[in-house]
């Protein structure tokens, strides 16, 4: 029996990177359930469009332009949200970018952007919001966007993979910190499988090496053919979060397969295993 409407039928949700993709899907779902949604993104027009879509369906939302790669922007957001709403029930640190290219060929600016958005955006999102959530004394939920990529290796996607391994480890430690302190903050690692988003679209790859285009195109086509619908994935994620699950999956079978491979890799201490798809789409 679904309980998401009971758990997330009221209160305030803050979702980063919600102009498109999984973030927009999560924002729409939270709004449909009855939450007041603070839709944030560096893309102000996209955030406004998501908020407008929620309001058009009778929900409550407002948009804020936020660059999660700047810690002070997350401090500003937390101050604004808590001064306006008093407390936050649901925080989802979703903002992220994919970066394609051999690790030694990715320019400094793109490396820094990937680390700052994907990893530091999550870390500082928690740092800015968690103290206020704790001080409110209310039960609350934090979801951090991990990935099936957090449990494997993928040549040509090293920058993204590094950040997702780190987000997974951070989320595990955060869960234990909340448990150790006996706090009513439920932490989830959201682990999408293949979801139909624009993360591999050409325009999102600015600053990558020129030879990354073929890899990006192949991954985009694979997502188009086999990816799960974004709104369906968002509904699955929020239901599992409502059940206070740490592991939140859209494709548990694929995740289990990848995790099993990771366990064998660590147990046997063998060299990294080349994913089946890697040679077919390898960066030159």
Give domain status of residue 276, yes or no: no
**Cβ-contact 191, 241 below 8 angstroms:** no
> What's the DSSP call for residue 115?
I
State the catalytic residues.
Answer: 160
Looking at the 3D structure of the chain, how many domains does it have?
A: 1
Asked if residue 283 is part of any domain, the answer here is no
Q: What is the CATH number of the domain that holds 121?
A: 3.40.50.720
71 assigned to some structural domain: yes
> pLDDT category, 112, cuts 50, 70, 90?
very high
Mean pLDDT along residues 3-22: 98
Maximum alpha-carbon separation in the chain: 54
Give the model's pLDDT for residue 284. 67
In a domain, 99, yes or no: yes
- pLDDT over 90 at 244, yes or no: yes
Instruction: Name the β-bridge partners of 142.
Output: 91, 187
Selected residue with higher pLDDT from 268 and 275: 268
Q: Is the pTM of this model over 0.95?
A: yes
Spell out the residues 6+ positions from residue 216 whose beta carbon is closer than 8 angstroms to its own.
Answer: 98, 100, 200, 202, 205, 208
Residue 277 lies in a domain: no
Domain of residue 256, residue span: 4-268
Residue 278 counted as domain residue: no
Nearest residue to 90 (alpha-carbon basis) of 24, 197, 188:
188
Q: Does residue 135 belong to any structural domain of this protein?
A: yes
Question: Is there a contact between 61 and 51 (Cβ–Cβ < 8 Å)?
Answer: yes
For strands 90-93 and 140-145, give the pairing. Answer: parallel
Q: What is the pLDDT of residues 117-173, one digit of tens each?
A: 999 999 999 999 999 999 999 999 999 999 999 999 999 999 999 999 999 999 999
pLDDT averaged over every residue in the chain: 96
What does the pLDDT read at residue 13? Answer: 99
């Amino acid at each position: 029996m679904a309980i998401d409407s009971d758990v997330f039928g009221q209160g305030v949700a803050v979702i980063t990177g919600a102009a498109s993709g999984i973030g927009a899907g999560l924002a729409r779902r939270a709004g449909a359930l009855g939450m007041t949604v603070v839709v944030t993104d560096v893309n102000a027009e996209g955030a406004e469009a998501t908020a407008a879509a929620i309001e058009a369906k009778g929900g409550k939302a407002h948009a804020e332009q936020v660059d999660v790669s700047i810690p002070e922007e997350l401090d500003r957001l937390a101050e604004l949200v808590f001064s306006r709403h008093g407390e936050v029930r649901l925080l989802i640190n979703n903002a992220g970018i994919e970066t394609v290219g051999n690790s030694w060929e990715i320019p400094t600016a793109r490396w820094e952007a990937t680390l700052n958005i994907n990893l530091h955006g999550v870390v500082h999102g928690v740092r800015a919001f968690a103290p206020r959530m704790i001080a409110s004394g209310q039960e609350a939920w934090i979801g951090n966007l991990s990935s099936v990529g957090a449990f494997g290796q993928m040549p040509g996607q090293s920058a993204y993979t590094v950040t997702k391994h780190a987000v997974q480890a951070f989320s595990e430690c955060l869960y234990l910190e909340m448990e150790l302190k006996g706090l009513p903050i439920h932490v989830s690692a959201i682990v999408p499988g293949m979801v139909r988003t624009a993360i591999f679209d050409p325009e999102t790859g600015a600053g990558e090496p020129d030879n990354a285009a073929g890899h990006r195109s192949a991954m985009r086509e694979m997502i188009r053919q086999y990816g799960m619908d974004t709104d369906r994935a968002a509904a699955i994620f929020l239901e599992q979060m409502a059940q206070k699950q740490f592991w939140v999956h859209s494709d548990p079978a694929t995740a289990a397969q990848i995790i099993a491979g990771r366990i064998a890799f660590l147990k046997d201490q063998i060299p990294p295993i080349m994913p089946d798809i890697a040679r077919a789409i390898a960066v030159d």
